[in-house]
Amino acid sequence: MAEPILEVRDLVKHYPLTQGVLFKKQVGAVKAVDGVSFTLEKGETLGIVGESGCGKSTLAKVLMNLERATAGQVLYKGEDISRLSGAALKAVRRNIQMVFQDPYTSLNPRMTVGDIIGEPFEIHPEVAPKGDRRKAVQDLLDVVGLNPEYINRYPHQFSGGQRQRIGIARGLALKPEVIICDEPVSALDVSVQAQVINLLEQLQTEFELSYMFIAHDLSIVRHISDRVGVMYLGRIVEIGTDTEIYDHATHPYTQALLSAVPVPDPTGREGRERIILSGDIPSPANPPSGCRFRTRCWKAEERCATESPLLAAPKLLTGGAKHDSACHFAAEREVAGAAL
């Protein structure tokens, strides 16, 4: 198989917790991302899902090098980019761009749409020399389905969906290979979400883009993703193709998330019970020992408090599981065929 476009190895991001005003003393750490590994293949979409606070945005920021990794590696085409700075970092950044969650706050209200979309050209003038910029921005507006004549308007003159199109146009300006979309439709009306997702899919085909698509909601991710990774408290607990995750989930947390997704065709998934998780998500500053999900898991046994389950494909006699799950009981449940 060809080399992945991105490979993340044991990535860790801890934010120091400090006490005191004058003499700050570190008293602990928020383990926002705590040992995450995965690959992103060229042209694919990897969905990342998980509840608010599980570390999705931190993961995105570390991948983009907007935040420094505490440990681990981010390989772009085989080269570790997590420690780069200066010109080398600038060169890599061109290829990995981000679309942010909130199109209301991520666009500078004092800048025209043309200046917002063209801003990346200030840092990378080689992509569009000064004389060509207006035309380049107008082309980008056209590509995202906005009227090129809107170039002198301001963000407040656009709807939420249109603003997200502007954010996407800015993300495309430098002709990147990878786009990290951090909850790109979460702030939009449901009726507009599908349009923006369709646009992202069209652009992916047109420009051969690889996407990491972050969401807190499994139903949004299903449509766009080739593979899906489920995060809980700074770790990926299950990852696999969309069919594997949606139809053969083996991690109790994934099963709980799926049980909360409304089923459009009730005959297709008869008998799927709603699993209500007890308790709150523990603090990432003080995660449970062993399996992090055990404090809310109905399957938890003593072993789960002492042994941290590895994210791996269960070894099965039946050969049923084709994806990785970080649960001590994943294999057993698959063998028993006890789908929830």
Ligand X SMILES: Nc1ncnc2c1ncn2[C@@H]1O[C@H](COP(=O)(O)OP(=O)(O)O)[C@@H](O)[C@H]1O
Contact positions vs ligand X (CB under 6 A) = 15, 30, 32, 50, 52-58, 284
**Exposed/middle/buried for residue 274 (C-beta within 10 Å: 0-12, 13-18, 19+):** exposed
Kindly tell me which of 56 and 323 has the beta carbon lying closer to ligand X: 56
What is the token pair recorded at 330?
A: 């994943």
**End-to-end CA, the chain:** 34
- As a whole number of angstroms, the distance between CA 240 and CA 324 comes to 6
Q: Report the interhelical angle of 133-143 vs 113-123 (nearest 10°).
A: 120
Class of residue 172 by CB neighbours under 10 A (exposed 0-12, middle 13-18, buried 19+):
buried
Closer by beta carbon to ligand X, 58 or else 65: 58
Position with the least CB separation from Mg ion:
57
Measured from the Cβ of residue 17, the count of other Cβ atoms closer than 10 Å reads 13
Q: Which of 60, 63, 54 is nearest to 292 (CA)?
A: 54
Residue 284 binds which entry of Mg ion, ligand X, none, with Cβ cut-offs from 5 to 8 Å by kind? ligand X
Q: Which residue, among 140, 184, 186, has the nearest Cα to 164 in the 3D structure?
A: 184
CB of 58 to ligand X, least distance (A): 3
Question: For residues 30 and 187, which CB has a smaller minimum distance to ligand X in the complex?
Answer: 30
Shortest Cβ 57–Mg ion spacing (Å): 3
**97 near Mg ion, rule: CB under 5 A:** no
Name which of residues 46 to 75 contact Mg ion (CB under 5 A).
56-57
Q: Which does 58 bind (CB under 5 to 8 A by kind): Mg ion, ligand X, none?
A: ligand X
Separation of alpha carbons 127 and 236, rounded Å = 36
Picked from ligand X, Mg ion, none, the partner binding residue 210 (CB below 5 to 8 A depending on kind) is none
User: CB of 52: closest distance to ligand X in angstroms?
Assistant: 4
When the beta carbons of 56 and 251 are compared against ligand X, the nearer one is: 56
Q: Which two tokens stand for residue 22?
A: 């004058």
Q: Which does 15 bind (CB under 5 to 8 A by kind): Mg ion, ligand X, none?
A: ligand X
d(CA 328, CA 230): 16
Binding partner at 287 among Mg ion, ligand X, none, C-beta below 5 to 8 Å by kind: none
Q: Which is nearer to ligand X, 19 or 52 (CB)?
A: 52
CB of 98 to ligand X, least distance (A): 13
Closest distance to Mg ion from the beta carbon of 152 (Å): 32
Q: Which does 32 bind (CB under 5 to 8 A by kind): Mg ion, ligand X, none?
A: ligand X
State the CB neighbour count (10 A cutoff) for residue 90.
12
Nearer to ligand X, 56 or 222 (CB): 56
Q: In whole angstroms, how large is the CA radius of gyration of the chain?
A: 21
Residues that bind Mg ion (CB under 5 A): 56-57
